[in-house]
Structure 1
């Protein structure tokens, strides 16, 4: 018997997707919107550098920690329940963050807010897998890709605008309060519009607690030294990375054994699908370069050149606009062009970022936001042809009952890639700044070249996939002697 909603062929599917996209936008926006609010928080709460670092990085840490487990829960028990609970918790913790009276209060609220975001996001991707097929699925992922691109890039602009309107002392609170009315509406509409049951028979088995523990510990060990790179000065922190890899290897061994008896937290057989494995690798590497760009560009504009938070946000807007436009188009045409479309997008991103480096050579003689507007627009157009099409292709062969956990693992890779990329590119940025005696332009160019090089590695993976596909296709189409 079908488990789709009664009018799954009509507008209800797109309405449900719209609710999911709004929730995804909120949760992903809070990754970057807080960056420009740090000085205002510092003045209002007298927070230490360690407190401020936890406000920024704690969200990403708990976000990445919960993704796979939340996706598995949605697969097993229905995405509506997980989505509504996640959005409700996100709304509540946003309000608590906005009401914070001490640094500890704010840090605790941000940790819980990140966990709530981790509950919501795999449900949105799983929803697309569940409700859409064929070209419609590509269109839906195109809209999701546009949401990811816009939310990541527009965060500094929206944050700067809210702080400008709310005042330097308390404007940062509106960065959190703005989520509250939107979250309440999303909870009500999500309960009404999202499918009530999982696809297939409900899975009554427990959710693999050992697997949850091993994956959680492994992700924390990997992410903690990356997100605390500035405040945790001891070199011993990097010993956690190999320890995390060992724990994740143990997770893989456990899941392989557990799958013989029950449904595992994550089915490792998904990695036998080339589309899923290559797509996850491309996403991990691309987010390592893509997210770091906004981190160093905001630092360069505000701390180096003295631009306001609002102007710094406006400077990134061309990238967001290009990404939104190309994501919508890419989602519609990905089924026709496949992985080569992702490769083309990566080439355009590399060209656009290379143009930014060229425009800022020497000492920039004009307004940096104006000089970089067209190159960033070009890079954004390329990014839109990467994120949405790659997500569509990565999940194209994943069975719908495993869509949530598969999406959770894909997004966990994105979070790890983002943290690693910001750590590497940020380290080069600050070391260049120190070695050049405070030459912000040089530090920015050097670190942007590294971010571009990381993105070029994703391009190599895409080219390898395209080349292998061309070699396999002639064999697949050769006539067979068997009846």
Structure 2
């Protein structure tokens, strides 16, 4: 088969292109948490009801999660550069529309569009990293991506608090969205110039898009996430009936994808990815860790503002030690992951659990008005642990994935993160709000909520230890660069050796 050779990308340009990808990823992930502290401003300035406020937060996460896998596969098939730029342009326009929304209903609609656009951008980043980098450089790039994932989520409350404090309660919420405009426009302009083009191979038939698989997976993700993101708004137990429905739809999706593979048709998700132990364990670790990691900022920010009386800015500053330490931990993790592998993740998860237990102890032992200062050191410990977890785990999960499936694989990984976050917020939020409502003890409520988050982190730790023991007993072949490279359908070279090859 004749192939079209992709033009080499200069070293300097590759790292600049990566900066564009990480910038877009940062603002799209920042928007998962930045709006939390802006909800009172929306209620004041837009007369947003409690249900509308809930959908401003959960609608974004829902649309984000629904789009990830099909968007990743679309990028694999038709070109990640085009998909990335389209998603970034749509995200920037949707951010402007959110900031200009005349009513709460319009804001909810624009947030859904913004979430879908963010879901278009996210999987292209991991795919582009696979295309542009190899070996130790790829590990470093994935380490930087993991750093962005952790830091953007942690910085959301602080960024939101700063904007609300500067712009005022009435219209401060609008600037939570307007801040994306100059960043998005600059990243789009830079992306048009810097993102490399990878020509498609000549003489190869284009794969068909698995539309039925998209519908099955979308319905499954919707059924799983909807009762979780609406846990506080939908009263009664009937909503939980959607969870087994979602599980059945996932089983149907799995069967359909196997059928596609047997018939020689391109599946939406290559089920062979799950034969890679690193991918399977990494995805499960990511799902469980995000169930605990993201919920900490949710309940802790509520506690600081509603119980202690902190402003939105002060609440955001209280989690700054976590964000700063997470950046340090991610940098260290990116440098050490190829040497220490999953042991680094085990160490990081252990530090997260210790740090969060320190936060729980500080809330119990220190006067409430000083709790922000008292939790700074435990937050640093947890933040370093988070950086050592998210960054190396992202690298270990995706580094053995064949390049031509990198977008879909990144979509699967991040879909797990979104479902994990929704599940964690539902469970931890239920523990926190239920104890507060039944007993009126906010201090005990936050301790129980954080203890539940620790439980998720320990579950992730057990998975990491299991993977570590399995690796010791049955080592997975290390990826290597072959002299003869496989040319994938989007024109990039697959330099990853599959296990057993």
Q: Of 275, 279, 282, which aligns to 1:276?
A: 279
Q: Deviations over 1:159-191 (max 9, x none)?
A: 010111111100110100111111111111112
1:366: how far off? Answer: 5.1
Q: Of 221, 239, 246, which aligns to 1:237?
A: 239
Aligned equivalent of 1:105 = 106
The DSSP-based 3-state class of the residue aligned with 1:7 is coil
CA contact (8 A) 2:353 2:458 kept: yes
1:470: how far off? Answer: 1.4
Aligned equivalent of 1:460 = 462
Q: Deviations over 1:351-373 (max 9, x none)?
A: 11111111122563651110000
CA contact (8 A) 1:225 1:240 kept: yes
Question: 1:162 and 1:44 mapped to 2: Cα distance?
Answer: 15
Aligned equivalent of 1:480 = none
Question: 1:213 and 1:458 mapped to 2: Cα distance?
Answer: 30
Instruction: Describe the shift of the 1:362–1:326 C-alpha distance in structure 2 as closer, same or farther (beyond 3 A).
Output: closer
Aligned equivalent of 1:355 = 358
Q: Of 219, 222, 228, which aligns to 1:220?
A: 222
1:230: how far off? Answer: 1.0
- How do 1:190-339 residues align onto structure 2 when only pairs under 5 Å count? 190-197=191-198, 204-260=206-262, 261-339=264-342
CA contact (8 A) 1:432 1:443 kept: yes
1:221: how far off? Answer: 0.5
Aligned equivalent of 2:492 = none
Question: 2:168 and 2:354 mapped to 1: Cα distance?
Answer: 39
Per the normalisation by structure 1, the TM-score is 0.96
Q: Of 366, 369, 372, which aligns to 2:372?
A: 369
1:205: how far off? Answer: 2.1
The DSSP-based 3-state class of the residue aligned with 2:319 is helix
CA contact (8 A) 1:198 1:401 kept: no
Show structure 1 runs of 5+ residues with no match.
Answer: 477-483
- How do 1:14-53 residues align onto structure 2 when only pairs under 5 Å count? 14-53=15-54
Alignment root-mean-square deviation, CA: 1.6
Instruction: Describe the shift of the 1:474–1:73 C-alpha distance in structure 2 as closer, same or farther (beyond 3 A).
Output: closer
- How do 1:362-441 residues align onto structure 2 when only pairs under 5 Å count? 362=365, 364=367, 367-437=370-440, 439-441=441-443
Question: 1:45 and 1:100 mapped to 2: Cα distance?
Answer: 9
CA contact (8 A) 2:286 2:417 kept: yes
CA contact (8 A) 1:200 1:401 kept: no
Per the normalisation by structure 2, the TM-score is 0.92
Question: 1:421 and 1:83 mapped to 2: Cα distance?
Answer: 29
Question: 1:302 and 1:93 mapped to 2: Cα distance?
Answer: 29
Question: 1:306 and 1:471 mapped to 2: Cα distance?
Answer: 53
Aligned equivalent of 2:491 = none
Q: Say if 2:468 is the partner of 1:451.
A: no
Question: 2:6 and 2:458 mapped to 1: Cα distance?
Answer: 41
Count of equivalent residues: 474
- How do 1:119-158 residues align onto structure 2 when only pairs under 5 Å count? 119-158=120-159
1:4: how far off? Answer: 4.6
Instruction: Describe the shift of the 1:238–1:83 C-alpha distance in structure 2 as closer, same or farther (beyond 3 A).
Output: same
CA contact (8 A) 1:76 1:203 kept: no
CA contact (8 A) 1:97 1:110 kept: yes
Q: Deviations over 1:305-360 (max 9, x none)?
A: 11000000000000000111110110111000011110011011111111111112
Aligned equivalent of 2:169 = 168
Question: 1:294 and 1:447 mapped to 2: Cα distance?
Answer: 11
Question: 2:297 and 2:466 mapped to 1: Cα distance?
Answer: 28
Question: 2:99 and 2:294 mapped to 1: Cα distance?
Answer: 25
The DSSP-based 3-state class of the residue aligned with 1:31 is coil
1:435: how far off? Answer: 2.5
> Please, which moves more after superposition, 364-373 or 86-95?
364-373
